[in-house]
Amino acid sequence: MDAIAPRAEPARPPDRKSLTSWENAKRNGTRRVLITAYDYPFAKLADEAGIDGILIGDSLGMAVQGGRDTLRVSLDHMIYHTEMVARAAPTCLIMADLPFGSFEANPAQAFASAASLLKAGADIVKLEGGAAMVETVGFLSARAIPVCAHIGLTPQHVRQFGGFKKQGKTDDAAARLITDAIALAEAGARMVLMEAIPAPLAAEITKRVAVPTIGIGAGGGTDAQILVLHDVLGLGGGTVPGFARTYLDGAALVRAAIGHYAEDVRIRAFPPD
């Protein structure tokens, strides 16, 4: 797939939410918030709404492509969507996912993939995995690539987990997640995202690492929160995870508007004479 030809990129305002501003926010105890977005119009609206960060998540495989999971998302898909979002959202931090199969083989593979996401406009890349990714996080961090480490329920491991299941429930699993988070942050990860783990565990990790933590389904004790756009806007059509909150019945509104337009054409009310 061809990447979109770079056009005039919006200037980034002085108050943009850089990585440093995120680190200061953790120090000051200021809560931050991210949402996913995958295209220009929604990324622009999120930026205008004052969101602190946008994740071009590989959840696009489910939310946008209609897949069962995120495994079929390619690096080309991620580059394509990152370019659209980066062009639309000059103020907030732009985070892009390294998709399944684009980084796990070795650190050099991860570097090539991550560099292409930074060239597409990302400020930071996110990769899934715990201890196995420590070497890669160190390699990328030493080579100008800021990394967010995603632990807990890592959807790219859905086959291994046997479904989208909450993680860190036993004492052993919780201890492993704490060790992993500390090792990833010490290797250079600039953020740690925790998905679907017990709230006290996420709060404990937030205290133990110096970098900002982001939670989804991990309680209120993290430095920042993230949700998937289609869950927030009620555009999913499928099941919304129990930990998400839907703020709009977007599917009903869109269906009604399209139905209204179709009806107007059929009864000759549109276009006007």
Catalytic center residues: 195
Sign (positive or negative) of CA dihedral 32, 196, 64, 2:
positive
Closest approach of ligand KIV to the CB of residue 120, in Å:
16
Place of tokens 């993290």: 222
Closest to ligand KIV by CB, 88 vs 149, is 149
Q: Alpha helix (H) ranges present in the chain?
A: 19-28, 40-48, 60-63, 75-88, 107-119, 134-141, 158-161, 171-187, 199-208, 229-232, 250-266
- Contacts for 53 with CB less than 8 Å, ≥ 6 apart: 17, 22, 32, 33, 34, 92, 93, 94, 95, 224, 226
Residue 106: HSE in the Cβ half-sphere, 13 Å Cα cutoff: 1
Q: Is the sign of the CA dihedral 167, 189, 136, 183 positive or negative?
A: negative
**Minimum distance from residue 270 beta carbon to ligand KIV (Å):** 37
Smaller CB separation from ligand KIV, 55 or 149: 55
The partner residues of 96 in beta bridges, in order of sequence, read 56, 125
Kindly list the residues in this chain that would bind ligand KIV in the complex (CB under 6 A): 36, 55, 57-59, 97, 150, 193, 195, 216, 226, 228
Task: Supply the minimum distance, in Å, between the C-beta of residue 227 and ligand KIV.
Answer: 8
Nearest CB to ligand KIV, comparing residues 153 and 203: 153
Q: How far is the CB of 184 from ligand KIV (least distance, A)?
A: 15
* Beta-carbon contacts of residue 239 (< 8 Å; ≥ 6 apart): none
Please say whether the dihedral angle defined by the alpha carbons of residues 119, 42, 234 and 263, taken in this order, is positive or negative: negative
Compare residues 67 and 250 and give the one whose CB is closer to ligand KIV: 67
Q: How far is the CB of 71 from ligand KIV (least distance, A)?
A: 12
Residue nearest to ligand KIV (CB): 57
* Residue (28 or 239) nearer to ligand KIV, CB: 239
